[in-house]
Amino acid sequence: MEDMQAFNMPQEEDSDLFLTTFGHSVTGPGHKYGPAVRSYHLIHFILAGRGTFQANQHTYHLHAGQGFLIEPDYQTTYQSDEQEPWTYIWVAFSGSRAPQIIASLGLSQAGPIYACTEEQGAKLAAYVQDMLAHNSFTLSGRYYRLGLLMQFLSVLAEAQRDLLPPADNNTYISHMTNFIRTHLEEPFTVQDLADYMNLNRSYVTTLFKRYLYCSPHEYIQNCRLTKAEHLLQTTTFSVESIACSCGYAKSDSFQRAFLRKAGMTPTAYRRQQQSPYLQATDIKSIKKS
């Protein structure tokens, strides 16, 4: 059970930053959403109650005053507590600037949790309520909501202030993660990334471990395999085609990497995750080829 007020905004192909959805939800005991994969950046903030958030094989136990980030192409699940079901707000946005904005806030799918003071939380709630009150598709409404989104993000920046890296290093991380996410189909290496940034490879590794809590190789692999999971779930592309689309020059190396992460082969994962219709379509396409 869920008492929800939300709006979904039309796609804005010509915009570098735009809201895709926002809302407020009062959930019932044990209410669950997911597993699901989004195509946009989604930020939740818990106003009351508690629940769990699952991502990257981790389970986070959260309560009022905390929030969590969901990045595109990651499979996540969240569920309200049976005794104290949560109430939360959310905003979701997309566009070419979105990855840089998320990185500037010190958030990532590897470190998706943040916390706000009571005053900061009240501001976040007020901005979302204002968005809900100004939901027209007019140009003025669009700009008004975008202004509210920037104020929402400013509160997060204030909440994260003591956790943010120095500006220069944060800019490096932002550029590198954006490069990775937009070049996943290319078989680049960590050295290629360092050369692109004109940085020493060991310094690149230091930045990733300090601010994203993993090596650059691990981050790249996780992005590639997350994209592969999404393609296996939602398309009938061959395993070889998916491997190529995710930057693997050889299908064998992709299958070994996928097996290490998922504990099963790509083909077995597809059978487990896909709908019967897509499985049947996939079988027909194999027979025709």
What is the residue extent of each domain of the chain? 2-163, 167-288
According to the model, what pLDDT value does residue 284 have?
Answer: 42
Q: What is the amino acid identity at position 224?
A: R
pLDDT per residue as tens digits for the range 40-92: 999 999 999 999 999 878 899 999 999 999 999 889 999 999 999 999 999 99
Q: What is the amino acid identity at position 184?
A: L
pTM for this one?
Answer: 0.60
Give the count of beta carbons closer than 10 Å to the beta carbon of residue 28.
11
According to the model, what pLDDT value does residue 169 have?
Answer: 62
Superfamily of domain 2-163: Jelly Rolls (2.60.120.10)
pLDDT per residue as tens digits for the range 100-137: 899 888 888 878 999 999 999 999 999 999 999 998 88
Indicate the CATH number for domain 167-288: 1.10.10.60
